Amino acid sequence: MSRPRRAARGLARLVLLAAAAAATAAPAPRPYTVVLGIAQDGGLPQAGCRRDCCTSGRREEVSSLALVEPASRRWWLFDATPDFPRQLARMAREAPGCTLAGVFMTHAHMGHYTGLMHLGREAMGARGVRVWAMPRLRAFLEANGPWSQLVELGNIRLVPLAGDAAVALGDSLTVTPFLVPHRDEFSETVGFRIGSGSPGGPGSRGVVFLPDIDKWERWDRRVEDLVAGVDAAYLDATFFDGAELPGRDLREIPHPFVVETLDRFAPLPAGIRARVRFIHLNHTNRALVPGSPERLRIERAGMRVAVAGERVGL
């Protein structure tokens, strides 16, 4: 081999070694959350609606969040919605190479658990996907078809959750359910705090997912305190105000109106308000429409509506 060629090879090897060293020295990419949908259980469009909200061609998937840990190539889903296939497809693009490691369930209303059916033999034929659920929800899934078949065939493996008991995922991630008042016909209802590091410790981060709750006043905790302890909080924004569903008694389907949440947070510092991201919007909620007076009112209050695909680093 000629001397110049040998020198060139040596140089190439040096460059490769340097690149490998740089790769091993780079810090592992941090975990993050991704919004997979922002609509209420019925989605957008909603079946049977012939108004502009649902005939304009716009669509939003049902509210759901993913937690991704790139270092271990795993991700976890929060709520299995009727849009589960499209949300899994989005994750294949968002986090290629990462696999679904489990599902955390808030409650047994149609927008939050029925996507589990896609794990069964008619679709994915999954093996032992962990599904974390509170006691009543676990009993409901075990006792009622078609969910009971997922358990019997081993498509899913139910894992117990308890209120305020943190579940550790990997080295630094925790997921902590907290009970909230809601129409609990089939199961209790929880929200989740997703955290990295030790809560309150240096460098710790947190995200809240709370898509469904009755009025804030019916809860024995203060939502302001919840938001103050995290970096982003995805909060129930089903209805904008009490005038939204003419002909339906909103007392039968109570939620905190967006205007009530705006009022509660108005006295707080801008830095706290900026953490509020509205999610779980009914098809009738005009805040879904960018530029609408309702959307602008939220933005002027220093808060915002969540966007599918947005990420928060942990």
Closer by beta carbon to Zn ion, 74 or else 280: 280
Q: Contacts with Zn ion: how many residues (CB under 5 A)?
A: 9
Contact string (CB under 5 A) for Zn ion, positions 221-250, x = contact: ------------------------------
Locate 301 and state its tokens: 């209050």
CA 83 to CA 158: how far, in whole Å? 21
Q: Report which of 73, 141, 154 is spatially closest to residue 113, judged by C-alpha positions.
A: 141
Near Zn ion by CB under 5 A, which window of 69-77, 90-98, 205-213, 270-278? 205-213
Closer by beta carbon to Zn ion, 283 or else 295: 283
Please pick, from the candidates 113, 283, 294, 302, the single residue that binds Zn ion as defined by CB under 5 A: 283
Sign of CA dihedral 289, 293, 299, 305: negative
Q: Report which of 253, 223, 207 is spatially closest to residue 109, judged by C-alpha positions.
A: 253
Cα angle vertex 40, ends 50, 217, to 5°? 125
Contact present, 108 and 186 (Cβ < 8 Å)? yes
Closer by beta carbon to Zn ion, 49 or else 245: 49
Quick check: 214 binds Zn ion (CB under 5 A)? no
Report, in Å, the least distance between residue 249 CB and Zn ion: 17
Cα angle vertex 181, ends 200, 248, to 5°? 130
β partners of residue 102: 76
Give the N- to C-terminal CA distance of the chain in Å, as an integer: 52
Report, in Å, the least distance between residue 83 CB and Zn ion: 13
Closer by beta carbon to Zn ion, 101 or else 180: 180
Closer by beta carbon to Zn ion, 173 or else 279: 279
Report, in Å, the least distance between residue 97 CB and Zn ion: 31
Report, in Å, the least distance between residue 31 CB and Zn ion: 25
Please pick, from the candidates 69, 83, 188, 212, the single residue that binds Zn ion as defined by CB under 5 A: 212
Q: Report which of 96, 77, 252 is spatially closest to residue 182, judged by C-alpha positions.
A: 252
Contact string (CB under 5 A) for Zn ion, positions 15-54, x = contact: --------------------------x-------x-x-xx
Contact string (CB under 5 A) for Zn ion, positions 94-113, x = contact: ---------------x-x--
- Please tell me what DSSP assigns to residue 114: G
Locate 64 and state its tokens: 């759901």
Q: DSSP assignment of 268-281, as one string?
A: S-HHHHTTEEEE-B
Report, in Å, the least distance between residue 47 CB and Zn ion: 9
Point out which residues bind Zn ion (CB under 5 A).
41, 49, 51, 53-54, 109, 111, 212, 283
